[in-house]
Structure 1
Amino acid sequence: MMIYYKISPCNPAAHLFSIELTIDSPDPNGQELYLPTWIPGSYLIREFAKNIVSIAAKSSAGAVLLRKLDKARWQAEAVAGALTVTYTVYAYDLSVRGAYLDTERGFFNGTSVFLAVAGYEECPCRVQIVAPADTRWRVATTLKPAQVDVAAFGEYQAENYDELIDHPVEMADFSVIRFEACGVPHRLVVSGRHQADLTRVANDLRRICEYQIQFFGSPAPFKEYVFLTLVVGDGYGGLEHRASTALICKRSDLPLPHEVEIKPGYLQFLGLCSHEYFHSWNVKRIKPAVYAPYDLQQENYSRLLWAFEGITSYYDDLTLVRSGLINQQTYLDLLSQTITSVERGQGRLVQTLEDASFDAWVKYYRQDENSPNALVSYYTKGALFALCLDLTIRQKTGGEKSLDDVMRALWLRFGLSFEQAKLGVAEDEWEKIAQQVTGLDLSCLFDLGLRSTTELPLRSLLLELGIEWQQRAASSSADKGGWQEGLKSSNSSLGVKTVAETSGVKLTHVFTNGAAQLAGLAAGDVLLAWNGLRLTNANLEQFISSSLVGERVEIHAFRRDELMQFELFVQAAPLDTVGLKAPATLEVGFLKA
């Protein structure tokens, strides 16, 4: 049986998609329908059904009663013959996770717009994408076309519902650059106003793609690949799919035609592309057993996100240096910043990597003012653990084995085909395979890195390679880490993060046992005065740096609408900033392809 969908941008000004779903042979007991509550790759219940504005059903006999069963499920009364369900979806989520529609652009993930037909999820699907009134628009997607026009509007097909929702769709008057990597057609599709040198971007992406395809071995796990990129004034994000990725970046991140160097924003964008592309293997095919298949109605808990997001985060920047896009020291600067981001959170001393993975649904994706004190990122600390694992394997095998070998073994066992991917990696299986492949007993390292909050042995492992490690205080609030010649560190600290407020300085985060917390200040407080002098975001850093450690300061602040006074004692700035440097003559082995 074929499941039919028709989606139309019926009212772009009101951000409404209209969808028509037809089921030729519905469940004779009454067909159940549901919309996913989350999207694979983003581990948070997002309640996409909240955006369904109206819904109705009919058959050849007329209107059909739809009974809502819960927040995301409906059941139609039993009918003879075909059942047609029509509904409208409000689409104004600019992120990569949902659906968006206005007069300039349309975008959707299938999880936001396509109701699943319970019991028929394995049936083939056909979807018609209807062109809007704006004739400039074209379609970009990796859904398999069945019959489309020159602008790619028309009919597409998918083998089942899982495939249908894993190919996002972009509709706009976009720019497109085509290139090949290891013989596979790729497209860079860019929506939004820009003046970027897309030829340069495509050439850089080609190097990333070719390295990663060669890393796992040809053929690539897709017949084509598309980078769907939205350019905005301020934004960042990415989400992986089986043959594409949806990306958001700042307009200023992309290189202009006259720019030659890789500026920080562009380096971040290339790292994002590298990350999402690596997911084509690690998480889209090699995946936790609990995701094989996904249960899109509820949380799918796994203690392995460190392996799928953390290891991917390790290889994203590693790809940039191994493919020759950046040099060795630039990579070490990026690694310094990753280490620094972990060092600055007290959560690393509270939450283990396995717990961080398991609790992603309620902690990582729902961060608040106390998150730096209570959680650690399985992305960043996961990447650092991956580096420790890689260096340990190389050291103990004399360079004969590495994490690369483990990843390739996982690919051969779990990823070569979607049939293999249906197996999924059991919760205890990743570690067993790593030890089988390397011939090493790595249990102590896994216990330390995954199931304890003990500091990782990263410093000693890097020093053994000849990489210098600099541990210092931050030089300013803008200091993200990296080697610093002629140290200019701040000597004093309040232990806070701030943002500018019209009346003063607002505390967004107050760190555990910092001067501000010990004084009784809290996140949300607006600092007004420092020893009777008006505070602004511009002069706070000056006040802190000119104060002596242990000095008493009188702080006036608003908590909500109440004026309060605090006695604060300035602390020494923590040595939570790391810089790495290797001698120019030193070739660091793990950075080589």
Structure 2
Amino acid sequence: MQYTLSYIQPENHYIAIEILVENIDAPAIDLQLPAWRPGRYELANFAKNMTRLFAFDRQGNQLQVNKLKKDRWQIQTAGNASIVVKYMYYAQQMDAGGSWMDEKQLYVNFINCMLYVEGRLFEECHVKLILLADYQIACGLEEKEKHVLYAKDYYQLVDSPMIASNALVHKTYQLAATTFHIWVQGEADSLNWPQILTDFKKFSAVQMKMMGGFPCPDYHFLLHWLPFQHYHGVEHQNSTVITLGPASQADTLYPELLGISSHELFHTWNVIRIRPAELLPYDFTRENYFTTGFVAEGITTYYGDLFLARAGVFSTEAYFAELSQTLNRHFMVANQASLSLLESSFDLWLDGYTAGAPGRKVSIYHKGALTALILDLELRQLTNDARSLDDVMRYLWQHFGPMEKGYTLVDYKKAVATVAGKDYTQYFEECIEGTSSLENRLKQALSYVGCVLQTQPNEQNPGNLIVQVVLNPNRSAEAAIHLQNWIGNKGK
């Protein structure tokens, strides 16, 4: 598949896209635009941004196009072995999952706008970008020649967003055999680069140490440093896009930059490669229901800030402040929700990213992080710190990641039981499949590491709580050791 994207009249925000489809041996082919994007489990209707789709033979004769669904078209090939498809895509969505074109940059999440031929998802894809000569490209794909990107197949293509600009700021750091790239589009002068490179290297090293290396030879942080308030990140095969602002508040936002970057980096293992079976491979035409969203997002949310504490980037107090904020997002809103974490994972496709009906659902991010915290501390207490959630993640990585074999809920339960050395059904019944408050279980888990959960009623949401995790001033020397084992020697 050969795609061409043209940077023409950027002030209109329309990307001109052309696809050369060769080796056709059928009277008709179907073209599909993805209905959703990985990392955001809801239908996105990208086709609403498409216009003026036409098909031609190599001599320029127009071919018949029939629209089959809102995001699917059929081309009558008229016996041609190769055809050209042309259309326009409106790119004016500035977040980590969208696309944007203006006089300063071309930013594309290819999942938004690249049609594929049904049955040919595993063919190599080339993307030629018609850009200004001085534009540089930030992307996880290989650029074998100037302004031409290469992907081994469609799945890799749409999991590799790009920014093209003549104002990109580019920094790198090296850990073992992996080169990490930080690309910034926007007001990069406000950033403290020596501190960023030091801190990013620290939390990257901690993640690599826990997981036993890094799964790819290079990784790219693509940061839009925006002039307005914004916070969003999306994980990809060997990259992440982060949109953050306002840039004028760089110092205030720095903990947010660290937190979201650590979170997205851990997704390189958890969900990109340690993937629920229902998402392997992705079906881009419809909802891909799965019940383990609390593993994919909840565990990643828990570890994102914990890695920063283990790396010494966050102090213990700063880590507890972030942890308390995450827990409050659950306890202040959804402590008495009627749906379990398992049911809420399944219902991501229904209303997972909106407030929804009061008291109905829980967040796989917030309650998922809460249940990950409980499991981690309980495993540590059960084994006197010999095993933890770290071992569960390494088990999943070893058994499912490299083999590109998806895991099921049963597989995750088996991983937990294997690490615990005993049946752990009661945890799943109460924390994952149940709807009762986890306040008491959390208090008990925190006591093992010399911490207490301070609670007070939430007057605005009766039945819910306002919580804060703090160190117990009367903690024992033994609890202090457990705390150090949990957060790490540098997390003081």
Equivalent residue, structure 1, for 2:149 = 156
Partner Cα separation in structure 2 for residue 20 and residue 356 of structure 1: 40
Residue of structure 1 aligned with 2:29, choices 23, 28, 31:
31
Q: 1:254 to 1:429 in 2, by over 3 A?
A: farther
Equivalent residue, structure 2, for 1:73 = 72
Residue identity opposite 1:460 in structure 2: Q
Provide the secondary structure at the position in 1 that maps to 2:353.
Answer: helix
Residue of structure 2 aligned with 1:287, choices 270, 275, 283:
275
Residue identity opposite 1:394 in structure 2: R
Deviation at 1:266, TM superposition (A): 1.4
Deviation at 1:162, TM superposition (A): 0.3
Equivalent residue, structure 1, for 2:183 = 189
Which range is displaced more, 313-322 or 265-274?
Answer: 265-274
Matched, 1:112 2:107: no
1:114-513 equivalence runs, <5 A: 114-132=114-132, 135-148=133-146, 153=147, 155-172=148-165, 173-194=167-188, 195-218=190-213, 220-232=214-226, 233-252=228-247, 255=250, 263=252, 265-346=253-334, 348-368=336-356, 370-371=357-358, 373-416=359-402, 420-421=403-404, 423-456=405-438, 457-472=441-456, 493=459, 495=460, 511=461
Provide the secondary structure at the position in 2 that maps to 1:41.
Answer: coil
User: CA offsets per residue over residues 247-286 of structure 1, 9 Å max, x none?
Assistant: 0111348646xxxxxx4x3112211000000000000000
Residue identity opposite 1:129 in structure 2: L
Partner Cα separation in structure 2 for residue 462 and residue 366 of structure 1: 31
- Give structure 2 stretches of 5+ with no counterpart: none
Q: TM-score scaled by structure 1?
A: 0.77
Q: Which has the larger radius of gyration?
A: 1
Which range is displaced more, 86-95 or 97-106?
Answer: 97-106
Partner Cα separation in structure 2 for residue 381 and residue 439 of structure 1: 25
Equivalent residue, structure 2, for 1:560 = none
Deviation at 1:21, TM superposition (A): 0.5
Identity %: 30
Partner Cα separation in structure 2 for residue 341 and residue 60 of structure 1: 57
Partner Cα separation in structure 2 for residue 296 and residue 575 of structure 1: 39
Deviation at 1:115, TM superposition (A): 0.6
Would the aligned equivalents of 1:197 and 1:254 in 2 still touch at CA under 8 Å? no
Partner Cα separation in structure 1 for residue 317 and residue 335 of structure 2: 29
Would the aligned equivalents of 1:43 and 1:361 in 2 still touch at CA under 8 Å? yes
Would the aligned equivalents of 2:382 and 2:420 in 1 still touch at CA under 8 Å? no
Residue identity opposite 1:340 in structure 2: N
Residue identity opposite 2:195 in structure 1: R
Would the aligned equivalents of 1:347 and 1:375 in 2 still touch at CA under 8 Å? no
Would the aligned equivalents of 1:472 and 1:578 in 2 still touch at CA under 8 Å? no
1:526-565 equivalence runs, <5 A: none
Provide the secondary structure at the position in 1 that maps to 2:206.
Answer: helix
Deviation at 1:349, TM superposition (A): 3.1
Partner Cα separation in structure 1 for residue 465 and residue 287 of structure 2: 38
Matched, 1:581 2:471: yes
Deviation at 1:163, TM superposition (A): 0.6
Would the aligned equivalents of 1:356 and 1:375 in 2 still touch at CA under 8 Å? yes
Once superposed, what is the RMSD of the aligned Cα atoms?
A: 1.9
Partner Cα separation in structure 2 for residue 83 and residue 346 of structure 1: 53
Residue identity opposite 1:167 in structure 2: S
Partner Cα separation in structure 1 for residue 292 and residue 110 of structure 2: 26
Residue identity opposite 1:71 in structure 2: K
User: CA offsets per residue over residues 82-121 of structure 1, 9 Å max, x none?
Assistant: 1110111000011111211111121111111211111111
- Give structure 1 stretches of 5+ with no counterpart: 257-262, 475-492, 496-510, 515-573
Partner Cα separation in structure 2 for residue 307 and residue 53 of structure 1: 38
Q: 1:383 to 1:59 in 2, by over 3 A?
A: same
Partner Cα separation in structure 2 for residue 271 and residue 253 of structure 1: 19
Answer 1 or 2: higher relative contact order, Cα 8 Å, separation at least 6. 2
Provide the secondary structure at the position in 2 that maps to 1:295.
Answer: coil
Equivalent residue, structure 1, for 2:7 = 9
Partner Cα separation in structure 2 for residue 110 and residue 226 of structure 1: 16
Deviation at 1:136, TM superposition (A): 4.6
User: CA offsets per residue over residues 314-355 of structure 1, 9 Å max, x none?
Assistant: 110110011111121221222222222211114643221001
Deviation at 1:24, TM superposition (A): 1.2
Partner Cα separation in structure 2 for residue 399 and residue 243 of structure 1: 32
Provide the secondary structure at the position in 2 that maps to 1:10.
Answer: coil
Equivalent residue, structure 2, for 1:506 = none
Would the aligned equivalents of 1:406 and 1:434 in 2 still touch at CA under 8 Å? yes
